[in-house]
Amino acid sequence: MGCEALLWGAILLACSCGPGPPRVGAAPLLAATYVLDDANGLGREFDGIGAVSGGGATSRLLVNYQEPYRSEILDYLFKPNFGASLHILKVEIGGDAQSTDGTEPSHMHYENDENYFRGYEWWLMKEAKKRNPKIKLIGLPWAFPGWIGKGENWPYDYPDITAYYIVSWILGAKQYHDLDIDYVGIWNERAFSSKYIKVLRHSLDRLGLWNVGIIAADGDWSISKEMIVDPYLNEAIEVVGAHYPGTKTVQNAILTGKKLWSSEDYSTFNNDVGAGCWARILNQNYVNGNMTATIAWNLVASYYEELPFGRCALMTAQEPWSGHYKVESPIWITAHTTQFTQPGWSYLQVDGHLEGGGSFVALTDGLGNLTIIIETMSHNHSKCIRPPLPNFNVIPQRATFYLRGSFYMVQTLQVWHSRLDFESGNSSLFQQLHPLQVWRGRFSLDLNVDEVYTLTTLKTGWKCGYPEPPPPQPFPSIYSDDFNIRNPPFSEAPNFADQTGVFEYFVNASDPGDHVFTLRQVVVQRPITWVSDADQTISVIGNFKWVNMTVTCDIYIEKPRDGGVFIAGRVDNGGIYVRDSKGVFFWVFADGTYRVTSDLAGKEILMKGLAGVRDNAWHTLTLNIQGNSASGLLNGYPLWENVTISKPGNGWAALGTHSFEFAQFDNFHIEAC
């Protein structure tokens, strides 16, 4: 591990020999002064910067990385004074349903079922806590298992049941993983129920979980209108959280007297424009909107990039098979705030708008430490994915700061600097510069466009790095998985990305032969969905660019009469668009028939006939796609051939079921190019 030495050349810092403050850089076009003073009290309490894992399945591939690369990625995200040094981790409470880039398994697939070791969010929270014991943990559901709605696609008809389900997750986190959940949400970006929120608060209090705060409603600010006229609702909620607020709040939210958070934001491709977006909103969510926490969707792009919102994360780790990952520029933009503040610090009462465009915030720990973060992001270089960004201008400027109150005696500030260079592409990220001398409580700084500065009394900042990870490699063109693992570290097989349904390792105690250890689809009732899940279940795997491929898999239909399974190639869609998936789908059914379709919905039939397959018996399917032609084998013998394929021209391999039904898969093998 090597750490970067001090860099002296990005700005010039000089001490004046005569009267006047230190000067920084060349003559600016505009000059303005700003006063930082704590004599009349402080502003709102700072609650931290964080990121979301989930919503959904965004960390799916991370768990499959080998060491040391997996730990390196986690260090860049969570280790204090190292990389992003996040203060908050928000995770999806898995609901067995599609929640953007995949499904995450529930801890209660069925009413009489509890398992607190499914998925990877438990593991991720423990890894975050291991690195930063003070990190705050949040759970939020995007979807719910179907039994909660008793047949309705709605979680609020039986609020006691929904509250029981959520509280069970919180209790399970503590009982099985020694994790204390700090906050819990209601239903991501969907309708809220005031009655349910009160029932949830009562349920938490009844079990002694007074320290678990409720965030609501993880959509717009509209819940605040009800809170100001319903004191019981207002009392139940600790944080008013809005998504993608465009740095603006509303008066009703302020009138609640509650903490205001941007509880999901960013969601932007993680190049330098994404970094500019992130830099701007980290400051301006407070400057414009009084929001004291900002949480990025998402933490790490550990999902196939061709799924929706590819690389909309703070960093990228989507190749566990190669070990390659990339520390993207938003990581170091995050560090400008997180390495020099902590939850519990307070903002200073100051306007925060720079005269030449851009913004600044100032925070203190109340013990004499001061951190100032300045950003001068231009409009075109800081557009987030949403909402639309009104036009504004940023110009080079000189900012003179006067330190008053307890900060008057500050003599030196450490300087950290980033410059996003959109012309040459040679951005300078999170570089430590020569300390700045403060002269009689006064200093000046020349600011160019698309820069971030952190000025701080803290000397704890650190830019560390690991050796370069291995180079990127495509998914292996020959890949097999026999699922023969007795005690799997995770419930899901590596690299399979569930898009509807949940596919888990399974021990088939009834089969003493070759199929004891299998992969099983376990969701048998349509969940309370967040988006339009498919009516079939599907898990994709491989390289989206694959054209020619041979997919082989042993299959076991458990549902009699109308049960069915498929294997597929050239699958072109997933995530929130899973219902529209096209490809080449080879289906067999318990009634002895087969079909070949060009869509997951099974409506575009290319060929059909009798196969002789039955339920509760193992069969081997083989799908061969070469150019514009496809053929299929059953148990090693040709079943159909010379089916003409027009489109799509490439895509993933996949397996799945005809409905929400139990089915098993074994000895998956693919050869592709």
Any idea which residues carry the catalytic annotation?
Answer: 189, 264
- Phi/psi for 620 (5° steps) reads -110, 125
DSSP state for residue 494 in the 8-state scheme: T
Decide if 387 contacts 244 (C-beta within 8 A): yes
Q: Could you give the CA distance from residue 143 to residue 523 in angstroms, rounded to a whole number?
A: 13
Q: Which residue has the tokens 């789908």?
A: 585
CB neighbours of 27 closer than 8 A, spacing ≥ 6? Answer: 398
Angle at 575 between CA 569 and CA 577, to 5 degrees: 85
Distance CA 68, CA 314 (A): 20
Find out whether the peptide bond into 630 is cis, omega within 30 degrees of 0.
no
**Single-letter amino acid, residue 19:** P
Distances (CA, A) of 144 to 97, 127, 156, 260, 331: 7, 26, 11, 26, 32
SS3 443: strand
Longest dimension (CA), the chain: 96
- b vs e for 634-662, b when ≥16 Cβ sit within 10 Å of the residue's Cβ? beeeebbeebebeebebbbbbbbbbbbbb
| Closest-CA residue to 588 (of 625, 617, 621) | 621
Q: Which tokens go with 156?
A: 């609020």
Closest CA to 578 of 651, 664, 485: 651
With contact defined as beta carbons under 8 Å apart, do 576 and 531 qualify?
yes
Residue 196 backbone dihedrals phi, psi, to 5 degrees: -65, -40
Burial class (CB in 10 A: 0-12, 13-18, 19+), 121: buried
Contact, 96 vs 143, CB < 8 A?
Answer: yes
Say how many CA atoms lie within 13 Å of 452 toward its Cβ.
33
**Number of neighbours of residue 480 by Cβ within 10 angstroms:** 11
Helix (H, G, I), strand (E, B) or coil at 173: helix
d(CA 236, CA 238): 7
Contacts of 125 (CB under 8 A, 6+ apart): 89, 91, 137, 173, 177, 179
Q: Which residues contact 409 (CB under 8 A, 6 or more apart)?
A: 441
- 68 prior amide bond cis, ω within 30: yes
Q: Which strands make up the sheet holding 412-419, listed edge to edge?
A: 346-347, 359-364, 370-375, 451-456, 412-419, 428-437
